[in-house]
Chain A
Amino acid sequence: MTGWLRTILLAELWVGLWTTLKNQFRPHVTVEYPRETVDLAPRFRGTPRLRYHPENGEELCIACHLCEVVCPCDCIHIVSEKKPEGKGKRLVSFEINLERCCFCGLCVDPCPTKPLTAIYMSHDYELADYSRTPFVAPLKTLLDGTTPHEYSK
């Protein structure tokens, strides 16, 4: 009986209209991207970057090649040499091919430097460029990052 009455009075249609009417006055969810950006979660995985040593200002990386080994898409390429004095190796070049990188963050896990890992997933995600060359990021880019273009309009 009530089902019949609901059909006659078009109850479902009124519910639908009420829903859209309510939505009218709800705050919008659109983010006008270039002008405003979303807040990133702390664990957000942007491009992998390298850290400077917090004390002596050199790169923190000890050239152990673990990230190169673990990388599932082979996008990390490290060239290292023996340090002229003392123990260990030092970097000659460190390249990450961002065209191949899948932003999985696996390179960070085996990194042995403590307490900070030498390689980390940064919050940079504005990577578009006009040519393919900058996507093979050299050591300098990895350490210093890139400055994204300011949106002006």
Chain B
Amino acid sequence: MEPRALVEQAVIPCLQVILVVLLIPLVIAYLQLVERKVLGFMQARLAPRRVGWHGLLQPIADAVKLLIKEDTIPARADRFLFTLAPIVSVVPALLALAVIPIGGVPFTLFGYEVRPYIADLDIGVLFLLAVGSLGIYGILLGGWASNSKYSLLGALRSGAQMISYEIPLGFALIGVMMLAGTASLVGIVEAQKAAGWWYVAPQILGFFCYFVSAVAETNRIPFDLPEAEAELVAGFHTEYSGMKFAFFFLAEYTNMIVVSALVTVAFFGGWLRPFPNVRALDWLENGWVLLVPLALGAFFGWMVDQRVGGGMRFLFVGGLLGGLIGFGIGAADLFGVATASAPQLAGAFWFGLKVSFFLFAYIWFRGTYPRYRYDQLMDLGWKWLLPMSIANVLLTGLVLLLRGGGAS
């Protein structure tokens, strides 16, 4: 019994950590490719499609280029802080992924109990907010250590912006915590399951405040003032090149994933299927496998440029992949490798679908909106989002009070 507990408590979480740390750069590399594709299509042009089939190897080429690129440190820069900054930036971003649950119920794999999250902290939301705000240090340190005016200005802007938007961000999540009665991310989703609806419905205002603040928090367009290239060259990472730059890049995209995952968990029911209490959609519990080829096919058909068109061909590819996945699940069940695996896989599917949508929204905003002016940015944060999020907290409290208190 003792070694079993050791494996379940220590070895498996360690393996999960390694898996996440290895997987995230790969996911981000291809997220970058998807971003370039989507942006290209939004501008009625072709996206990268020279390296590999339809640009499939482009991320690899980019990574190799960044790896072998000369790593310059500006003269009279603070060498220690200059090197430390990208690490300080990327570690909290990866750390935040530890509490993101892809599913709620542990499943067994090779006879061992595996939880679909690395840690379920009682203070999960607080942990995310705390770790999320640590990322500012990386940007501030990097900007300061670069010994460059552009970097310093970018970093200062970033600091001011992230601190301003931290407040509505926190307030927006308080409404969710009040409804759920817990700050644990698994608990929040369980509460949504019990309540029978996603919290985006009662917390629409909170969702809006959260998502807008989160886009500002991750320094993405339309709030990418720290890297406003028209004014600041590239902001805090002007002087960075090679792998150090790649680390900042990694941190930005990891933060995007974390934000999308948190939106999914807090407002869109995490791993729950759509309309968890509508009986008519019960077939989705097992029928999600049918949606996999559809989703994959639609995705590939979309990513291939319009001239090749023929979405049917890619529906076929999607169907093949989906079939293989379904076959894999069936085989795993048959040989007893993993039992009762389907609900967790379904959860992972729904979770992935929702997170993908919000990642797409990030790219969508980038393709649509122009950058805010600095004073407009501060106006929006302090004069609109902050009062709105506080009003949301008060409103939620009032409704809870009138309904007899307690979590609903």
By a beta-carbon cutoff of 8 Å, the part of chain A in contact with chain B is: 13, 16-17, 19-21, 23-30, 32
**B368 to chain A: which residues have CB within 8 Å?**
16-17, 19-20
Point out which of B43, B302, B305 has the most chain A C-beta atoms below 10 A from its C-beta.
B43
The distance in angstroms between the C-alpha atoms of A17 and B305, with both chains bound, is 20
Closest 9 CB pairs of A and B: A30-B46, A20-B42, A20-B368, A30-B45, A16-B368, A27-B306, A24-B41, A20-B367, A23-B42
**B365 to chain A: which residues have CB within 8 Å?**
17
**B40 to chain A: which residues have CB within 8 Å?**
28
Q: Is the CB–CB distance between B46 and A23 below 8 Å?
A: no
6 CB contacts below 8 A, A to B, read A23-B42, A26-B306, A28-B40, A28-B41, A28-B44, A28-B306
CB proximity of B358 to chain A, nearest CB, Å: 14
**A24 to chain B: which residues have CB within 8 Å?**
38, 41-42, 302
201-227 of chain B: CB within 8 A of chain A: none
How many residue pairs link A and B with beta carbons under 8 A? The number is 40
Given contacts A16-B369, A27-B306, contact A32 B41 (CB under 8 A): no
CB proximity of B227 to chain A, nearest CB, Å: 21
A22 — nearest CB in chain B belongs to which residue? Answer: B42
Report if B127 contacts A (CB, 8 A). Answer: no
**B305 to chain A: which residues have CB within 8 Å?**
28
Q: Is the CB–CB distance between B364 and A21 below 8 Å?
A: yes
**A16 to chain B: which residues have CB within 8 Å?**
368-369
167-184 of chain B: CB within 8 A of chain A: none
B307 touches which one: A17, A20, A23, A28 (CB < 8 A)?
A28
B45 — nearest CB in chain A belongs to which residue? Answer: A30
Q: Chain B 60-71, CB within 8 Å of chain A: the 1/0 string?
A: 000000000000
The distance in angstroms between the C-alpha atoms of A23 and B44, with both chains bound, is 6
B39 — nearest CB in chain A belongs to which residue? Answer: A20
44-58 of chain B: CB within 8 A of chain A: 44-46
**A30 to chain B: which residues have CB within 8 Å?**
45-46
CB proximity of B39 to chain A, nearest CB, Å: 9
Q: Is the CB–CB distance between A13 and B369 below 8 Å?
A: yes
**A26 to chain B: which residues have CB within 8 Å?**
44, 306
The distance in angstroms between the C-alpha atoms of A21 and B307, with both chains bound, is 18
CB proximity of B55 to chain A, nearest CB, Å: 13
CB proximity of A6 to chain B, nearest CB, Å: 16
**A32 to chain B: which residues have CB within 8 Å?**
46
The distance in angstroms between the C-alpha atoms of A16 and B367, with both chains bound, is 9
287-316 of chain B: CB within 8 A of chain A: 302, 305-307
The distance in angstroms between the C-alpha atoms of A30 and B47, with both chains bound, is 10
Q: Is the CB–CB distance between B306 and A25 below 8 Å?
A: yes
Q: Is the CB–CB distance between A29 and B369 below 8 Å?
A: no
Given contacts A27-B307, A28-B306, A28-B307, contact A17 B364 (CB under 8 A): yes
**B46 to chain A: which residues have CB within 8 Å?**
28, 30, 32
The distance in angstroms between the C-alpha atoms of A27 and B43, with both chains bound, is 10
The distance in angstroms between the C-alpha atoms of A148 and B365, with both chains bound, is 44
The distance in angstroms between the C-alpha atoms of A24 and B40, with both chains bound, is 8
CB proximity of A106 to chain B, nearest CB, Å: 36
**B38 to chain A: which residues have CB within 8 Å?**
24
**B42 to chain A: which residues have CB within 8 Å?**
20, 23-24
Q: A23-B42, A23-B44 are in contact. List 20 more A-B contacts (CB 8 A).
A: A17-B364, A17-B368, A20-B364, A20-B367, A20-B368, A21-B364, A23-B43, A24-B38, A24-B42, A25-B41, A25-B306, A26-B306, A27-B44, A27-B307, A28-B45, A28-B46, A28-B305, A29-B44, A30-B45, A32-B46
